[in-house]
């Protein structure tokens, strides 16, 4: 792992961990205070088979829990917006692997507003597309297949019709990520970066998709493996060591997910043609420009 890549991963992971605590800790404490803290074995008993105490806690604490979840969602939005900062720092580190920390920070500040705009636009566009295309697609599927006697056909047909919409959403996500990489590498305005990102996506779809697929598949494998491992550890049984082991497994999984994502962004940064006056090889994927090992 090269130094810029390591720096990028650590910064984003540290932020993810801190943000996770900001969002999750108050909700967990509110939930625990509804009864778990008075139980001899603490929250262990909430996860005992049959779920009587868990259901009772949910019943008695429905209102405060809703309030806690609302607060958590609000905090999620704030830290979600804030997540752009470490990401841009990480991308800056990947785009300029030889820069020192001060230069990287300066580069981050320089590109922050445009990156925020790109991220915001991407999020809004994805949400709108999900709502519109998927909704219409599903409705069209239901209408087209509604006369079939087999009750599975209209539902599955709806999913089939909705799929192109979801592909478009993925495309917007890829263009947004590419725009962030372009901003990190070249700077400039948000709309210009988005425009160049679309062009780059059209010219190099295979490379982008390969990097994206590696990221998604790898992250999914990590999360599924973590679920399997924590299931085997089984924290519904007593033992502080079990909790520690689960923390280790989960945080390793999150670290791995972040590392894969940074590797993905590194590949995108490497796809961005260098500015005039730098390397004459726009297709250089060796990792020199991204700081990611080739």
Partner 1 sequence: MRGNRALDLLKGLAVCTLGAVALALAPGVGARGAEPGTGAPATATHAEPVPNPLLGGQTLLGSEPPDHVGEAFDSDASLPAHAKPVASYTLSARLDAERHTVDGHGTIVFENVSARPLSELFVHAYLNAFKNSRTLFLRSPFAAGRSGRGAEHWGYLDVTRFSVRELSRENLWPARGSKTGEDPDDETDVRVPLPRPIAPGETVSIDLEWTSQLPEIVERTGYEKDFHLVGQWFPKLAKLSPDGTFVHFPFHAQSEFFADYGSYDVSLDVPAAHVVGATGVLVEEKVEGGRRKVRYHADDVHDFAWTSWPDFLERRATVDGVAVRILYPPGNETNADANLRAVTHGLRFFGRAYGRYPYPVLTVVHPPSYAEAATGMEYPTFITTGFPWWVGIVSSFTERVAIHELGHQWFYGLVGTDEHAFPFLDEGLTTFAESSAMEALLGPGNGFRAPGLDVDGRAHLRGLAASAGHDDVVARPAPEFSSFHEIGALVYARTDTILATVARVYGAPLLDRALGRYARRYRFEHPGPKHLVAVVREVMGDEPADFLARALFEGGTVDFVADSVTSLRARAKAGVFDGPSGRTTEPAPAKEPDRYIGRVLVYRHGTLRVPVDVELRFEDGSRERRRWDGMERFRSFECEGPSRLVAAVVDPDLAVLLDDDLSNNAVRSGPGSTARLVERALYASELALGSLGP
Compute the least distance from the CB of residue 63 to partner 1, in Å.
11
Compute the least distance from the CB of residue 135 to partner 1, in Å.
19
Note the maximum CA span of the chain.
69
Compute the least distance from the CB of residue 105 to partner 1, in Å.
19
Compute the least distance from the CB of residue 276 to partner 1, in Å.
28
Residue 89 has phi, psi (to 5 degrees) of: -60, -45
Compute the least distance from the CB of residue 175 to partner 1, in Å.
13
| CA separation, residue 239 to residues 39, 54, 72, 235 (Å) | 15, 19, 29, 8
Considering the complex, state which of residue 155 and residue 274 has its C-beta at the smaller distance from partner 1: 155
H or E stretch covering 294: none
Considering the complex, state which of residue 21 and residue 217 has its C-beta at the smaller distance from partner 1: 21
Considering the complex, state which of residue 100 and residue 151 has its C-beta at the smaller distance from partner 1: 151
Considering the complex, state which of residue 203 and residue 213 has its C-beta at the smaller distance from partner 1: 213
Which of 235, 175, 170 shows the shortest CA–CA distance to 199?
Answer: 175
Which of 77, 63, 61 shows the shortest CA–CA distance to 22?
Answer: 77
| CA separation, residue 114 to residues 110, 125, 183, 196, 197 (Å) | 9, 16, 8, 14, 14
Compute the least distance from the CB of residue 292 to partner 1, in Å.
18
C-alpha span between 234 and 236 (Å, rounded)? 5
Compute the least distance from the CB of residue 118 to partner 1, in Å.
8
Considering the complex, state which of residue 30 and residue 284 has its C-beta at the smaller distance from partner 1: 30
Residues 6+ apart with CB under 8 A from 8: 89, 90, 91, 93, 94, 262, 265, 266, 291
Considering the complex, state which of residue 199 and residue 220 has its C-beta at the smaller distance from partner 1: 220
Compute the least distance from the CB of residue 21 to partner 1, in Å.
6
Considering the complex, state which of residue 3 and residue 69 has its C-beta at the smaller distance from partner 1: 69
**Helix H segments across the chain?**
3-33, 52-60, 62-82, 84-95, 101-129, 135-145, 152-186, 190-203, 205-233, 240-271
> Are 43 and 8 contacting, i.e. CB atoms less than 8 angstroms apart?
no
Q: From its phi and psi, is residue 172 left (phi > 0), alpha (psi between -120 and 50) or beta?
A: alpha
C-alpha span between 136 and 148 (Å, rounded)? 19
Which of 227, 214, 199 shows the shortest CA–CA distance to 261?
Answer: 214
Considering the complex, state which of residue 24 and residue 293 has its C-beta at the smaller distance from partner 1: 24
């Amino acid at each position: 792992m090269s130094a810029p890549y390591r720096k990028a991963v650590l910064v984003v992971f540290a932020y993810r961990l801190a943000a996770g605590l900001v969002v999750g800790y108050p909700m967990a404490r509110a939930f625990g205070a509804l009864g778990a803290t008075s139980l001899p074995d603490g929250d262990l008993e909430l996860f005992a088979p049959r779920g009587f105490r868990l259901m009772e806690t949910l019943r008695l604490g429905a209102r405060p829990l809703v309030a806690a979840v609302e607060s958590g969602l609000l905090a999620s939005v704030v830290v979600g917006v804030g997540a752009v900062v470490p990401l841009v720092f990480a991308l800056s580190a990947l785009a300029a692997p030889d820069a020192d920390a001060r230069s990287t920070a300066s580069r981050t500040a320089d590109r922050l507003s445009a990156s925020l705009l790109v991220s915001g636009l991407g999020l809004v566009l994805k949400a709108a597309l999900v709502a519109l295309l998927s909704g219409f697609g599903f409705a069209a599927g239901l209408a087209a297949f509604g006369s079939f006697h087999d009750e599975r056909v209209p539902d599955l047909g709806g999913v089939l019709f909705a799929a192109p919409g979801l592909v478009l959403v993925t495309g917007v996500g890829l263009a947004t990520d590419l725009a962030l990489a372009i901003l990190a590498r070249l700077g400039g305005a948000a709309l210009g970066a988005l425009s160049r990102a679309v062009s780059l996506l059209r010219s190099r779809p295979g490379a982008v998709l390969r990097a994206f697929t590696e990221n998604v598949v790898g992250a999914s494998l990590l999360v599924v493996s973590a679920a399997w491992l924590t299931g085997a550890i089984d924290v519904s049984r007593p033992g502080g060591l079990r909790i520690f082991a689960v923390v280790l497994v989960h945080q390793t999984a999150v670290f791995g997910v972040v590392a894969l994502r940074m590797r993905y962004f590194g590949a995108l940064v490497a796809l961005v043609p260098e500015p005039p006056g730098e390397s004459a090889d726009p297709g250089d994927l060796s990792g020199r420009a991204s700081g990611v090992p080739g």
